[in-house]
Amino acid sequence: MIQNNPVGRLIAHVILIIGILIVAFPIYYTFVASTQTLQEILRPPLSLLPGGHFWENYSAALFGGVGRIGGVGVDRLLFNTLVMALGIAIGKICISILSAYAIVFFRFPGRMVFFWLIFITLMLPVEVRILPTYKIMVDLGLIDTYTGLILPLMASATATLLFRQFFMTIPGELVEAARVDGAGPWRFFKDILLPLSKTNIAALFVILFIYGWTQYLWPLLMTNRNDMSTIVIGLRKMISFADADTEWHLVMVTCILAILPPILVVVLMQRWFVRGLVETEK
Amino acid sequence: MANVELTNVRKVYGSSVEAVKGINIAIEDGALCVLVGPSGCGKSTLLRMIAGLESITDGTVKIDDKVVNELGPAERDIAMVFQNYALYPHMKVYDNMAYGLRNRGMPKDQIDKRVKDAAQILELTQLLERRPKELSGGQRQRVAMGRAIVRSPKVFLFDEPLSNLDAKLRGQMRVEIKNLQRQLGVTSVYVTHDQLEAMTLADILVVMNAGSVEQIGAPLDIYEKPASTFVASFIGAPPMNLVPVKADHSGLVLKDGTRIGAEGLSIPATGALIGFRPEDLEVSAGTDTHIGGLALDLKVLGVEPVGAESYVYGIIGGERVVVRVPGRSTSNSDDQLRVIVPKQKLHLFGADGKRI
C-alpha cells in the first residue's frame, strides 16, 4: 500500500525515525562511552557527546592487551572470531551445497534415509547435543583449537534444506541439456549449479557469518586459554562483578569493534544478500 | 550424418508400467522423422531413449549402424532441442552455444568459428553477448537450435520445440526448422502433439498411441489411407468423421436406425465404421442419389464461418459430423441436407478400429 497524502507520509516518517532512534541510540551511547576515560564513565551522568580519548582507548584495547583477559589484545580476539565465523560460514556452505547436490541430483541407495537423517538433526536443539559433542572434542584433543571451535558447528541441516529447495526448482531439462552437452557431474556442478546458486550462497554467507560471529555457548566450552577466546567470550570475561574493577571504557571499545565486522559484511554483500532472499534467478 | 534404427524398443517403468511397447522404426540418412501422438503416448520417452536420457529396457537403438544402448547422451553424437529451450540462464548466448564444444576440448579458434557460423545461419550474430533472459521466445528458440547446430551431430532430436511459442511465431519457426534441416541434411527426430506441425515437417510420420506405433508412412499417405480410426481422427483438422454402421439382410443401418444404400460396401457382421474427411463431402442440392457415392442425410446443428471456408456441424445417423464447405455456407440450424460421399473417398474400419 502506498500512501500519497502528506499527513500519512509525515506519520510514517515520524514512526520510522522513532524506530531508528530506539535501535541506534544504545549503539551511539556505547560509542560515546568508548571515547571516555574510565573515571568519566563511572561518574554519571555520561555526556551525550563523544569524549576526547578515542585513539587512546582504541589503541589500548587493540594493541595494548587487556588486563582482565590475561593481557590479550582485542586484535587477537577479533582475529579468532573472524577465523571461526569464516570457517563456520564457508564450511557450512561447502558441506550443505554438496550434500544437497547429492540428494537432489543422484539416485543412490539410502538417499531418502540420508535426507531424513539430515532433516531430523533440525529437531535436536544444540543444548541436547552439546555434552556428547564436547566429549568427542576433548577425546580428539581439540580443546583450544580453531578446528574445535569450527567443526561441530559446520554441519547444518537448515542450509542443506535451503539448497535442496533451490536445486529442486532447477528444471530437469537444464540438467539433461548439460548431459547432452557432455558435462559430467562435476562440470555440471561447477559450470551451472554454482553460478546459479550465487545469490543463495551470498545470502547464506551473511546469515552464517553473523551466526558464527555471535556464538557464545560453544566457544565458552571449547576455549580455556585467553588467547583462543572469541570476542563475545572476551567481552564477557572483561566484565567483573565489581563495577570499579571493570575497565568499562575498554569494554565499550570492544563492543563497538565486535559489531563492526558483521555490519561490514552486511553492507558489502547487501546487494547479493537481498537478491538471494527475494528472487531466485532463473 | 547417419541413419537411425529402432528395433523392438521397449520401456518399462517399475515392474509393470509399459510406456513404450516394442517399437520398430528405421529412419534414413538425412530424413526428418516426426513422432506424433496424444500426450502420454510414449513419444517423448522414445525420443529420450534415443538421446540416452532414458534407459532402454529392451531392444536396440542404432545410430549410424552402431548400437548405442549403453552409451551416454554425450557419446551418442546427438544434439537435442528441448521444449523450454533449457538454455543456461547465467551464460551469454555465445557461451550457451560454445559450452558443449568446450566440454569436448575443442580448440578455442575452432569453437569461435563454429559458433559464429551457426549464429550467422540463425541470424543471432547481434545477440551473442546477451543473456537468455534478455531474449524473446523466438530468439531463445533459435539459440537452442544454435546450440544443436554447432555440435554438427549425427542426429538432431527435437522435443516439442515450438509448443512454447505463439501461433504466428510457431508457423514461422516451423518453416525455418524445415529449411534448416534440409540445408544441413542432418537426420532428425521430432516429437510433437500438433498434427499440423507433424504433417508439414515430416518426411516420415510416425503416429503413436498408448506406447505403440499406429502407423508409419509419408504424411499424405497417412492422411489418405489411415490405418486405424485412431489415426483417422488424430491426423487432420477437423478430424475425419466416423459413423458406425451395421449390415442386416436388406442393407446398411446407422446407429439411430436410418437405412442407407449399400453402394456395394461389404460390411462385416460385427459392424463397421465408415469414415470420411470433412472436405470430401459434397452437399447435394436436390434429393437425387449421386452415382457412385454414399448418400447421407445430415441435420445441421450449426455453422462456423472461418473466412475462406465454413464448417457445418451436424448429425448423421445419430453421430456428430462436420462438413467443410468452401466459402460461406447458406445453411442454417435445423436444415436437412443431403450429402454425398464419393466412393473413392470413403474409408471403412472394422469394429476393432483397423482399416478394412
The residues spanned by each domain of chain A are: 35-278
The residues spanned by each domain of chain B are: 4-234, 241-350
Report pLDDT digits (tens) over B331-356: 888 888 888 888 888 898 988 888 88
**Is the CB of residue A281 less than 8 Å away from at least one CB of chain B?**
yes
**Is the CB of residue B78 less than 8 Å away from at least one CB of chain A?**
yes
pLDDT number for residue B80: 92
pLDDT number for residue B287: 56
- Mutation target to probe the B interface, by most B beta carbons within 10 A, among A180, A187, A196 is A180
pLDDT number for residue B37: 92
Q: Do B53 and A183 touch (CB under 8 A)?
A: no
Looking at per-residue confidence, does A84 or B15 come out higher?
A84
Average pLDDT score over residue span A79-100: 93
Distance from CA of B215 to the nearest CA of A (A): 29
Q: Do A192 and B74 touch (CB under 8 A)?
A: no
Minimal Cα distance from A178: which residue of B? B100
**Is the CB of residue B80 less than 8 Å away from at least one CB of chain A?**
yes
- Per the listing, cell 546450440 goes with B147
Q: Do B99 and A173 touch (CB under 8 A)?
A: no
Among candidates B78, B79, B84 on the partner chain, residue whose Cβ is nearest the Cβ of A171: B84
Report ipTM (2 d.p.): 0.81
pLDDT number for residue A247: 79
**Is the CB of residue A186 less than 8 Å away from at least one CB of chain B?**
no
Report angle CA B245, B246, B250 to the nearest 5 degrees. Answer: 120
Q: Do B73 and A196 touch (CB under 8 A)?
A: no
**DSSP sequence for A33-63:** HHTS-HHHHHSSSPPSS--S-HHHHHHIIII
Neighbours of A276 (CB within 10 A): 24
In B, which residues are within 8 Å of A171 by CB distance? 84, 86
Minimal Cα distance from A174: which residue of B? B86
Fold of B4-234: Rossmann fold (3.40.50)
Residue A3 has pLDDT above 70, yes or no: no
**Is the CB of residue A195 less than 8 Å away from at least one CB of chain B?**
yes
**Is the CB of residue B103 less than 8 Å away from at least one CB of chain A?**
yes
Residue A186 has pLDDT above 70, yes or no: yes
pTM, whole model, 2 decimals? 0.80
The confidence band for A281, taking pLDDT boundaries of 50, 70 and 90, is very low
In B, which residues are within 8 Å of A191 by CB distance? 88, 99
Among candidates B80, B88, B91 on the partner chain, residue whose Cβ is nearest the Cβ of A180: B80
pLDDT number for residue A282: 41
The confidence band for A65, taking pLDDT boundaries of 50, 70 and 90, is low
pLDDT number for residue B291: 60
**Is the CB of residue A173 less than 8 Å away from at least one CB of chain B?**
yes
Which residue intervals of B150-226 are DSSP H helices?
167-184, 195-201, 219-224
What is the C-alpha to C-alpha distance for residues A248 and B311, in angstroms, rounded to an integer?
93
Intra-chain end-to-end CA distance of chain B, in Å: 39
In A, which residues are within 8 Å of B83 by CB distance? 173
Among candidates B78, B90, B103 on the partner chain, residue whose Cβ is nearest the Cβ of A195: B90
**Is the CB of residue B115 less than 8 Å away from at least one CB of chain A?**
no
Minimal Cα distance from B86: which residue of A? A174
Q: Do A174 and B88 touch (CB under 8 A)?
A: yes
CATH class belonging to A35-278: mainly alpha
**Is the CB of residue A192 less than 8 Å away from at least one CB of chain B?**
yes
Determine what percent of chain A is predicted with pLDDT higher than 70.
Answer: 92
Q: Dihedral angle at the C-alpha atoms of B257, B262, B263, B269, nearest 10 degrees?
A: 130
Among candidates A177, A182, A198 on the partner chain, residue whose Cβ is nearest the Cβ of B104: A182
**Is the CB of residue B67 less than 8 Å away from at least one CB of chain A?**
no
Average pLDDT score over residue span A163-177: 91
Minimal Cα distance from B97: which residue of A? A181
Please state the CATH superfamily assignment of the domain spanning residues B241-350 in this structure. Nucleic acid-binding proteins (2.40.50.140)
Report pLDDT digits (tens) over A7-29: 888 999 999 999 999 999 998 98
- Per the listing, cell 535501535 goes with A23
Cβ distance A222 to A133 under 8 Å? no
What is the C-alpha to C-alpha distance for residues A71 and A64, in angstroms, rounded to an integer?
8
Give how far Cα B58 sits from Cα of B19, B55, B284, Å. 12, 9, 55
Cβ distance A232 to A216 under 8 Å? yes
Q: Count Cα atoms within 13 angstroms, Cβ side, for A103.
A: 24
Residue A67 has pLDDT above 70, yes or no: no
Report pLDDT digits (tens) over B250-260: 778 888 777 77
Cβ distance A214 to A233 under 8 Å? no
Which range, of A28-37, A38-47, A272-281, B31-40, averages the lowest pLDDT? A272-281
Residue A59 has pLDDT above 90, yes or no: no
The confidence band for A228, taking pLDDT boundaries of 50, 70 and 90, is confident
**Is the CB of residue B83 less than 8 Å away from at least one CB of chain A?**
yes
Q: Do A177 and B104 touch (CB under 8 A)?
A: no
Q: Do A179 and B79 touch (CB under 8 A)?
A: no
The confidence band for A278, taking pLDDT boundaries of 50, 70 and 90, is low
pLDDT number for residue B108: 92
- Per the listing, cell 530506539 goes with A22
The confidence band for A124, taking pLDDT boundaries of 50, 70 and 90, is confident
- For residue A178, the surrounding DSSP H or E stretch is helix A172-180
Q: Do A182 and B103 touch (CB under 8 A)?
A: yes
In B, which residues are within 8 Å of A199 by CB distance? none
Looking at per-residue confidence, does B194 or A49 come out higher?
B194
Q: Do A177 and B51 touch (CB under 8 A)?
A: no
Q: Which residues of chain B have pLDDT under 70?
A: 1, 262-263, 285-292
Residue A252's Cβ-count burial label (10 Å; 0-12, 13-18, 19+) is: buried
Distance from CA of A2 to the nearest CA of B (A): 30
pLDDT number for residue A243: 62
Distance from CA of A121 to the nearest CA of B (A): 32
Strand ranges of the sheet holding B282-284, from the earlier edge strand across to the other edge: B282-284, B336-342, B293-305, B309-316, B319-326
Q: Do A182 and B84 touch (CB under 8 A)?
A: no
In A, which residues are within 8 Å of B91 by CB distance? 195
pLDDT number for residue B345: 86
pLDDT number for residue A52: 79
In B, which residues are within 8 Å of A187 by CB distance? 103
pLDDT number for residue A244: 65
Report pLDDT digits (tens) over A232-264: 888 888 887 666 677 788 888 888 888 888 999
